[in-house]
């Protein structure tokens, strides 16, 4: 697969992640006790905002890390950012301070699209400020928003939390370890990770024994090779091709394994926006491209015996030793024979 083709395939994955990120987090549970439904006065910044949505939501400040297990996030709580978590708070937005009836007392609970607009309007600049203009729009993390849910909204709670999350292509949130501000945002996976497949398009990590689109065989840090500004895609490809080949051969155990299993080695590139945000790493991966675009389903790790489209791969014929003439293109005419040179000596035909 060419680098350009690979970038198109992975761009489709990125689009899926953007669609998944449209959904905001709704705190629909945790509001069962009437005594918990107190409301802070509009514009009173000192008033508690957590009485409705719970202490963790109400007291969450910039830099706090939140996590939960229940689908409705009703058990939301704070954890040390060194521990796995699902959300890192970048800012608070108090909609009660905005004039108009849209967010006033008795107003209708906004829908998903409206919350998405609020996220783009308020959270995108807040996250950019929080990260010091170092947010990678193509990287591992997405901009997210937590709202108080319908019960909280009905009780008068108008506080939102903007922050960062790690969304899979299916919309499921995956754990983050460490603060986003302190780490490389490159969207890479550990070697040995298999990325699932859905209608020929990569999805989220799965066990390699399940159908998957490709398997990560290595990670390359471009920082040492390119210490300056953003390198061009061509310069990246020239360097990455050799490095990925080395890592693939070592991972699969043989330089011939990739060809014998009819797999393709591919990688992505970092664009200028990712580079300026501090991202420096890319993955080397192996998969099987299909003619219609995307990937064929593979079962089992490429380190061992695999199935492609349910069948074991058939190794191509061995390459003959020495140089060989390429097969002519279908329909190609034979090469023209040059006319004889009038001044050349005539060589008589051998007798008989």
The per-residue pLDDT for range 213-242, each reduced to its tens digit, is 999 999 999 999 999 999 999 999 999 999
pLDDT at residue 88 tops 80: yes
Same-domain check for residues 152 and 272: no
Give the pLDDT band (50/70/90) at residue 98: confident
Instruction: Supply the angle between the helices 233-252 and 3-21 in degrees, to the nearest 10.
Output: 90
pLDDT computed for residue 323 by the predictor: 52
Please tell me the chain's helix, strand, coil percentages from 3-state DSSP, rounded to the nearest 5. 25, 20, 55
Mean pLDDT on 275-283: 95
Weakest-pLDDT range from 56-65, 131-140, 187-196: 56-65
Q: What is the DSSP letter of 148?
A: -
Domain end (from 282, 302, 322): 302
Mean pLDDT on 265-285: 95
pLDDT computed for residue 33 by the predictor: 26
Report the number of distinct structural domains present in the chain: 2
Closest CA to 189 of 170, 171, 215: 215
What's the order of all strands across the beta sheet hosting 159-165? 25-26, 142-147, 159-165, 87-94, 65-67, 77-79
Same-domain check for residues 67 and 199: no
CA distance 297 to 289: 10
Same-domain check for residues 54 and 160: yes
Give the pLDDT band (50/70/90) at residue 40: very low
What's phi and psi for 269, nearest 5 deg? Answer: -120, 160
pLDDT at residue 39 tops 50: no
Same-domain check for residues 157 and 236: no
pLDDT at residue 124 tops 70: yes
Domain end (from 182, 214, 244): 182
pLDDT at residue 12 tops 70: no
Same-domain check for residues 24 and 150: yes
Same-domain check for residues 288 and 152: no
Identify the bridge partners of residue 318 per DSSP, sorted by sequence position: none
pLDDT cut 70: percent of the chain above it: 76
Is residue 38 one of the residues assigned to a domain? Answer: no
Is residue 307 one of the residues assigned to a domain? Answer: no
pLDDT at residue 346 tops 80: no
Mean pLDDT on 56-82: 88
pLDDT at residue 141 tops 50: yes
Same-domain check for residues 227 and 279: yes
Residue 263 CB-density burial (10 A; 0-12 exposed, 13-18 middle, 19+ buried): buried
Is residue 5 one of the residues assigned to a domain? Answer: no
Give the pLDDT band (50/70/90) at residue 342: low
Same-domain check for residues 222 and 128: no
pLDDT computed for residue 100 by the predictor: 79
Domain end (from 118, 150, 182): 182
Residue 323 CB-density burial (10 A; 0-12 exposed, 13-18 middle, 19+ buried): exposed
Closest CA to 58 of 108, 66, 125: 66
Same-domain check for residues 83 and 144: yes
pLDDT computed for residue 319 by the predictor: 73
pLDDT computed for residue 10 by the predictor: 41
pLDDT computed for residue 351 by the predictor: 52
pTM of the predicted model as reported, rounded to 2 decimal places: 0.73
Q: What is the DSSP string of 246-269?
A: HHHHHHHTSTTHHHHTT-EEEE--
Is residue 230 one of the residues assigned to a domain? Answer: yes
Weakest-pLDDT range from 55-64, 136-145, 207-216: 55-64
Is residue 89 one of the residues assigned to a domain? Answer: yes
Is residue 293 one of the residues assigned to a domain? Answer: yes
Same-domain check for residues 98 and 164: yes
The per-residue pLDDT for range 286-320, each reduced to its tens digit, is 999 988 788 999 999 999 999 999 999 999 887 77
pLDDT at residue 53 tops 60: no
Same-domain check for residues 166 and 24: yes
pLDDT computed for residue 157 by the predictor: 85
pLDDT computed for residue 30 by the predictor: 30
Domain containing residue 284: 194-302
pLDDT computed for residue 154 by the predictor: 87
Is residue 202 one of the residues assigned to a domain? Answer: yes
Is residue 214 one of the residues assigned to a domain? Answer: yes
Structure-model confidence comparison of residues 235 and 24, the more confident one: 235
Same-domain check for residues 166 and 298: no
Average pLDDT, the chain: 80
pLDDT at residue 17 tops 60: no
Structure-model confidence comparison of residues 29 and 223, the more confident one: 223
Token couple for 281: 């790493």
């Amino acid at each position: 697969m060419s680098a350009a083709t690979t970038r198109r395939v992975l761009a489709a994955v990125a689009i899926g992640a953007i669609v998944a990120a449209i959904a905001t987090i709704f705190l629909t549970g945790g509001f069962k006790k009437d005594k918990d439904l107190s409301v802070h006065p509009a514009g009173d910044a000192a008033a508690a905002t957590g009485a409705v949505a719970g202490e963790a939501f109400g007291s969450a400040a910039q830099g706090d890390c939140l996590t939960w297990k229940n689908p409705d996030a009703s058990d939301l709580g704070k954890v040390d950012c060194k521990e796995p978590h699902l959300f890192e708070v970048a800012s608070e937005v108090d909609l009660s301070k905005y004039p108009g009836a849209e967010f006033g007392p008795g107003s209708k609970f906004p829908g998903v699209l409206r919350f998405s607009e609020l996220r783009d309007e308020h959270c995108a600049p807040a996250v950019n400020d929080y990260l010091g203009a170092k947010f990678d729009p193509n990287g591992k993390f997405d901009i997210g928003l937590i709202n108080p849910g319908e019960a909280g909204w009905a009780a008068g709670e108008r506080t939102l939390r903007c922050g960062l999350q790690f969304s899979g292509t299916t919309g499921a949130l995956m754990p983050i370890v460490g603060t986003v501000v302190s780490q490389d945002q490159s969207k890479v996976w550990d070697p040995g990770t298999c990325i699932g497949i859905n209608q020929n398009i990569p999805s989220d990590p799965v066990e390699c024994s399940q159908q998957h689109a490709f398997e990560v065989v290595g990670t390359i840090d471009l920082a040492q090779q390119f210490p300056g500004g953003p390198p061009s895609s061509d310069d990246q490809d020239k360097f990455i091709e050799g490095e990925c080949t080395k890592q693939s051969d070592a991972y699969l155990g043989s330089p011939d394994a990739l060809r014998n299993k009819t797999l393709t080695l591919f990688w992505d590139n970092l664009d200028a926006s990712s580079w300026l945000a501090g991202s420096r790493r890319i993955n080397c991966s192996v998969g099987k491209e299909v003619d219609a675009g995307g990937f064929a389903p593979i079962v089992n790790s490429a380190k061992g015996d695999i199935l492609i489209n349910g069948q074991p791969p058939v190794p191509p014929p061995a390459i003959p030793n020495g140089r060989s003439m390429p097969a002519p293109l279908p329909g190609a005419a034979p090469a023209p024979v040059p006319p004889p040179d009038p001044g050349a000596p005539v060589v008589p035909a051998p007798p008989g």
